Structure 1
Amino acid sequence: MTARKAARDEIRVLAPTAILGYGFPDASFEAGVARRPHVIAVDAGSTDPGPYYLGAGRSFTDRNAVRRDLERILAAAHRLRVPVVVGSAGGAGAEPHLSWLCRITEEIVREQGTAPRVAAIPADVDKATVIEALRNGRIRPVPHGPDLTERDVLASTHLVGQMGAEPIVAALRDGADVVLAGRAYDPAVFAALPLLHGFDPGPALHMSKILECAAIATSPGSGGDCMLGTLRADHFVVEPLSPGRRCTPTSVAAHTLYEKSDPVRLPGPGGCLLLDDCVFEPESDRAVRVSGSRHVEEPYTVKLEGARLRGHRTVSIAGARDPFFLRELDGIVKAVRERTADNFPGVPAGSYELLVRVYGADGCMGPLEPTPAPVGHEVGIVIEAVAADQALADTLCAFARSTMLHLGYPGRVSTAGNLAFPYSPSDFHAGEVYEWSVYHLMEVDDPGALFPVHSSTWPRETADPQGVS
């Protein structure tokens, strides 16, 4: 039974891994394939690694790892005669990321000797379109975010919209065997086939929310293992494919709250999942049945994501364990900042950043840390300089590092140096630094207008051998 002729009473969705390139056990995957899913779907990206990958047009997943995952997925889908859907291609889902994944896919289908119909769906949004929407009052910030300006839009090196399920549904309706989508709402890739076949979007999207991270919703959880979702008219069932894992009502309910600020209201493109009547109950000792999920339509918004170049970064890593150094640490950091500013009077204070993170005190939470004083016998120190160019970042980081290394402080005994460096050289070029320039919601009239579907039979006559790193 092919996916495009799937029975209306049940659709099975196989989620091999949390992100394409994170890997999955062959045994678990084959167990999932044996259940004859109607679609194999996988998310390939996230904003979790920060704005660098979108801004730089690079993938945060390794090419060889992505290729290995996709080889197995495409081969299994060809055997089953079911479609493959991949969302947020290349991690951030902009044009260079989608092109990168398209090239990998092209290599694989050539080697496997297949000829699938492939739909590529770019997610790049034209800056003029965004500026027009901004002028028309159709863009608003995400909660607690800043207002958007035209300058923010123009400064973005790449600007994408997070597509909903509609463009993917259109590609599947048109007969695509493989859908490669740019930046996409995570559940969209799993919900597209059920929505195509008329399933209730409430349970369809809720199941997809669970499947987006594969076996993370299990006990013990893992992003590198497989999950199967079975959707029926008024409920769904999720279960891991590895015998060493099990879904429990608690593990599945907990993952429902993953990355959400409201436990019963989960907004997404074009609507909101309402879970106040949701029930989680065991289907077996390893599977969970979920019912009561509802979806209400709302004005359709697309989340925009853009990144701009902030500067260049140099980092130095060191450790310290002198108890007098630890006691005086706040004063030492303050003195290093002041000495650096004093030594470079020609560099405007606002043109660079000098950051000192102290792991063992407040390295993770910074000013939000409720107990910022070091409590152990040693600390890890990360000195970071961000400036307009790499040379200036190198200079500032080196000066701050050497100043901290030799700075005098009350109780100091040794003059050989205050810091222990695990590496030589002690300073590292971290390269370009990007920051979010656009992270806003844009109202749209047509959910698919920004995301054209380009379909053709692969392999094509020519393939571009280049790709992002």
Structure 2
Amino acid sequence: MSQQDELKILTPVGMLGYGFDEALFWSAVSDGVDAIICDSGSTDSGPARLALGTMSGSREGYTAELEKFLLAAHHFHVPVLIGSAGGDGANDHVDIFVDIINEIVTRLHLRPMKVVKIYAEVSKDIVQSELDAGRITPCGDAVPELQQNDVEDASRIVAQMGIEPYLKAMEEHPDFDVIIGGRSYDPAPYAAFCVHKGFPNLDIAWHMGKIMECGALCAKPKSREALAIVRHDSFDLRPLNPSSRCTAVSVAAHSLYEKTRPDILFGPGGSLYLQDTTYEELPDNRTVRVRGAKFVPLEQGQYTVKLEAARTRGYHSCFFGGFTDPILISQIDSFIRTVKDHVASVCKFPYDLKLTTYGTRNQISMFSDTNHGETLPPSIAIHGDARAETQAQATRVIHAARVGCMHGSYPGQVATSGNFAMPCAPLDIPMGRVCEFCIYHLMPVDDPTALFHISASVVDHNSDEEPPALVIPAYSPSGFPHASVAKPENNVPRPTILSPPAPPGMCYLGEFASVIRSKNAGPYELTFDIMFDSLAKYFFAKTSGVLDVPKFAELYGIQISDIVAAVWWEPAMALKVTVKRPIVSGRFGETDTHGSCQHAKLLRVLIPAMKDLDE
């Protein structure tokens, strides 16, 4: 058999359950693809899934998308690989996905499907034994040392698998139709499939998988459906949405997204070095060819897997509403203190209470508050969150806080019938258990497959009925208002809302940079990306000194030692700064679980005005 020259991999969406265009999907499948691979996991939404055993999407949503995948497997014999089932990759969620597959095969009378499961949960006894031996280390400087109670309190522990369990599953079951993996390093199923199909260059396989696991997020405008064409010395990336395109910069910039640093990507079994990577825009003006990454494997005996776990810490209740009285708003800080004093006077048991106001200053920030604006807003919102040992106690605290907001007095008060606008009932909302991450650590393993149980079964039905005829819908751009009707980026003026105007000879970074964003880089780190639309701007900003490490630390009120990485990255014309998260993602008191609203301070950084911007 001659060696295959190309491998085509289709990813319909960067997160299973988020939805994709059926016509674009079937167009790619009917043109011919070698696999459908999709990620289903993330820690971005906080610890609740791991702690409570919930899934990131609904069963109905997963069913709708898996149905398309199984129809492709039935009619075109395309294998399907799914990683991190249900969001957290717990064993129960692997089983739920297989149960969904059983239901679809039976309902649609599909041919028998061989389904392989890979479990990723790890027993507490194994983790405790490794902890006692001193062999478990934090995954990053922001993560504390693992304690015995962290293991004991964990609802479940999952290990993040690399390519080896997927390779073993495919070698043992080469006739598989579907693989449902538990918690996986996002690019692992992509890289493993490449190796299994005779493309063993891990430089190519890992880098392709690391980009493709987000679908066409690397395109401009960002979209969902993506196709990778893998060769032995390079790979091509192409969005399927005809209104999107990949560019050299947009693909290079993806190495910034939600990662600690852009030049080195750490993963199970080794690290991917991107310093010598090249990005070539092809003549179709939509596809980018990538080559040059270098995967450096760990030395023998150094292989580690990342453990993840979360626990519950009491119960919480909340309320939401707002104030409009300018007399109250002008003294909101002192008023909030009187509310807290009222709660303390009526709740004589341990509790935590966080009252967050929206509109007077940036309390969404995880960092030190900004100053009040020059003018008071016409109205502000307030969110209360209370935690206690029981749900009843948490609701009692939040009730007392809401009553304090509603009937508390303040100097100069004229509106004596009540202060608080309450938009919805119930007024005091029980929220269930509070969750927090407790394990995010590395554990060495002698065998990368030993922790991950693999099993296979044939899903069949007892019916002579034929499956439904395959009807491929026509593509309609109306399904993509965010991308298909987008104007070329150079023709879309950016709204300027920063005021007052920058001083003469200066401009705001929010007007100078093309992208300023923040995002979680795991639960314990927050990363900032500042991108520029020309090399001239990039080098000007780099040499201006306004974005050096001490000034960044001063801007966010943190210690320089809290900055994990600060890297200027020319391929994407960007600066990446990653810091220790002031509060672990999703823990009580969180203001921004996703970490995507922490960029605002950077918008108002002053940078010298650059002359001759078109040069």
TM-score by shorter chain over 0.5: yes
Alignment of 1:92-103 (within 5 A): 92-103=88-99
Q: Give the whole-Å Cα distance in 1 for the aligned partners of 2:149 and 2:127.
A: 11
CA deviation map 1:295-340 (0-9, x unaligned): 0012321111111111111110001222232221222222222321
CA deviation map 1:340-367 (0-9, x unaligned): 123223x13xxx2111122222342144
User: What's the counterpart of residue 419 of structure 2?
Assistant: 418
Superposed CA RMSD:
1.8
What SS does the aligned partner of 1:336 have? helix
What SS does the aligned partner of 2:316 have? strand
Q: Once the 2 structures are TM-superposed, how far is the Cα of residue 207 of structure 1 from its aligned partner? A: 0.9
Q: Once the 2 structures are TM-superposed, how far is the Cα of residue 243 of structure 1 from its aligned partner? A: 0.8
Contact 2:255 2:263 (8 Å CA) reproduced:
no
Where structure 1 has 5 or more consecutive residues not aligned to the other structure, the ranges are: 462-469
Contact 2:330 2:376 (8 Å CA) reproduced:
no
Contact 1:210 1:217 (8 Å CA) reproduced:
yes
Residue 252 (1) aligns with residue 251 (2): yes
Contact 1:58 1:96 (8 Å CA) reproduced:
no
User: What's the counterpart of residue 332 of structure 2?
Assistant: 329
> Structure 2 vs 1, CA of residues 331 and 245 (structure 1 numbering), >3 Å: closer, same or farther?
same
Q: Once the 2 structures are TM-superposed, how far is the Cα of residue 246 of structure 1 from its aligned partner? A: 1.1
User: What's the counterpart of residue 355 of structure 1?
Assistant: 354
Contact 2:329 2:376 (8 Å CA) reproduced:
no
From 18, 32, 38, the equivalent of 1:22 is 18
User: What's the counterpart of residue 81 of structure 1?
Assistant: 77
Contact 2:8 2:230 (8 Å CA) reproduced:
yes
> Structure 2 vs 1, CA of residues 405 and 187 (structure 1 numbering), >3 Å: closer, same or farther?
same
Q: Give the whole-Å Cα distance in 2 for the aligned partners of 1:194 and 1:80.
A: 19
CA deviation map 1:159-209 (0-9, x unaligned): 111111111111122222110011111111222210222421112111111
From 105, 121, 126, the equivalent of 1:124 is 121
Contact 1:27 1:242 (8 Å CA) reproduced:
no
User: What's the counterpart of residue 306 of structure 2?
Assistant: 303
Q: Once the 2 structures are TM-superposed, how far is the Cα of residue 6 of structure 1 from its aligned partner? A: 9.3
Contact 1:214 1:227 (8 Å CA) reproduced:
yes
What SS does the aligned partner of 1:276 have? coil
| 2:22 partner letter | D
Q: Once the 2 structures are TM-superposed, how far is the Cα of residue 34 of structure 1 from its aligned partner? A: 2.9
Q: Give the whole-Å Cα distance in 2 for the aligned partners of 1:354 and 1:61.
A: 30
Q: Give the whole-Å Cα distance in 2 for the aligned partners of 1:427 and 1:366.
A: 25
Contact 2:199 2:232 (8 Å CA) reproduced:
no
What SS does the aligned partner of 1:330 have? helix
Q: Give the whole-Å Cα distance in 1 for the aligned partners of 2:31 and 2:236.
A: 13
Residue 50 (1) aligns with residue 50 (2): no
Q: Give the whole-Å Cα distance in 2 for the aligned partners of 1:239 and 1:207.
A: 12
Q: Give the whole-Å Cα distance in 2 for the aligned partners of 1:323 and 1:285.
A: 55
User: What's the counterpart of residue 319 of structure 2?
Assistant: 316
User: What's the counterpart of residue 407 of structure 1?
Assistant: 408
From 344, 348, 356, the equivalent of 2:347 is 344
TM-score normalised to structure 1 length: 0.92
Contact 2:220 2:244 (8 Å CA) reproduced:
yes
Q: Once the 2 structures are TM-superposed, how far is the Cα of residue 77 of structure 1 from its aligned partner? A: 2.3
Residue 139 (1) aligns with residue 142 (2): no
Q: Give the whole-Å Cα distance in 2 for the aligned partners of 1:386 and 1:153.
A: 23
| 1:63 partner letter | R
User: What's the counterpart of residue 395 of structure 1?
Assistant: 396
Residue 240 (1) aligns with residue 239 (2): yes
From 92, 111, 133, the equivalent of 1:114 is 111
Residue 200 (1) aligns with residue 201 (2): yes
> Structure 2 vs 1, CA of residues 253 and 150 (structure 1 numbering), >3 Å: closer, same or farther?
same
User: What's the counterpart of residue 210 of structure 1?
Assistant: 211
User: What's the counterpart of residue 155 of structure 1?
Assistant: 153
CA deviation map 1:229-264 (0-9, x unaligned): 111112111001111211111221121211112110
What SS does the aligned partner of 1:414 have? coil
Farther off after superposition, 228-237 or 318-327 = 318-327
Alignment of 1:31-50 (within 5 A): 31-50=27-46
Which structure would you say has the larger RCO, counting Cα contacts within 8 Å and 6 or more residues apart? Answer: 1
Contact 2:347 2:396 (8 Å CA) reproduced:
no
Where structure 2 has 5 or more consecutive residues not aligned to the other structure, the ranges are: 463-615
> Structure 2 vs 1, CA of residues 165 and 368 (structure 1 numbering), >3 Å: closer, same or farther?
farther
> Structure 2 vs 1, CA of residues 202 and 398 (structure 1 numbering), >3 Å: closer, same or farther?
same
CA deviation map 1:44-81 (0-9, x unaligned): 12111111111111112011111000000111122222
Q: Once the 2 structures are TM-superposed, how far is the Cα of residue 86 of structure 1 from its aligned partner? A: 0.4
User: What's the counterpart of residue 443 of structure 1?
Assistant: 444
> Structure 2 vs 1, CA of residues 429 and 15 (structure 1 numbering), >3 Å: closer, same or farther?
same
> Structure 2 vs 1, CA of residues 278 and 369 (structure 1 numbering), >3 Å: closer, same or farther?
farther
Q: Give the whole-Å Cα distance in 2 for the aligned partners of 1:88 and 1:204.
A: 19
User: What's the counterpart of residue 290 of structure 2?
Assistant: 290
Q: Give the whole-Å Cα distance in 1 for the aligned partners of 2:144 and 2:191.
A: 31
Q: Give the whole-Å Cα distance in 2 for the aligned partners of 1:105 and 1:368.
A: 49
Q: Give the whole-Å Cα distance in 2 for the aligned partners of 1:52 and 1:27.
A: 34
Contact 2:150 2:438 (8 Å CA) reproduced:
yes
Contact 2:112 2:461 (8 Å CA) reproduced:
no
Alignment of 1:421-432 (within 5 A): 421-432=422-433
Q: Give the whole-Å Cα distance in 2 for the aligned partners of 1:393 and 1:198.
A: 56
Q: Give the whole-Å Cα distance in 2 for the aligned partners of 1:372 and 1:159.
A: 44
Q: Once the 2 structures are TM-superposed, how far is the Cα of residue 285 of structure 1 from its aligned partner? A: 0.7
Q: Give the whole-Å Cα distance in 2 for the aligned partners of 1:78 and 1:7.
A: 26
Q: Give the whole-Å Cα distance in 1 for the aligned partners of 2:60 and 2:322.
A: 35
> Structure 2 vs 1, CA of residues 7 and 337 (structure 1 numbering), >3 Å: closer, same or farther?
farther
Q: Give the whole-Å Cα distance in 2 for the aligned partners of 1:444 and 1:423.
A: 52
What SS does the aligned partner of 2:26 have? helix
User: What's the counterpart of residue 377 of structure 1?
Assistant: 378
Q: Once the 2 structures are TM-superposed, how far is the Cα of residue 369 of structure 1 from its aligned partner? A: 4.2
Q: How many residues align?
A: 451
User: What's the counterpart of residue 612 of structure 2?
Assistant: none
Q: Once the 2 structures are TM-superposed, how far is the Cα of residue 412 of structure 1 from its aligned partner? A: 2.4
Q: Once the 2 structures are TM-superposed, how far is the Cα of residue 221 of structure 1 from its aligned partner? A: 1.0
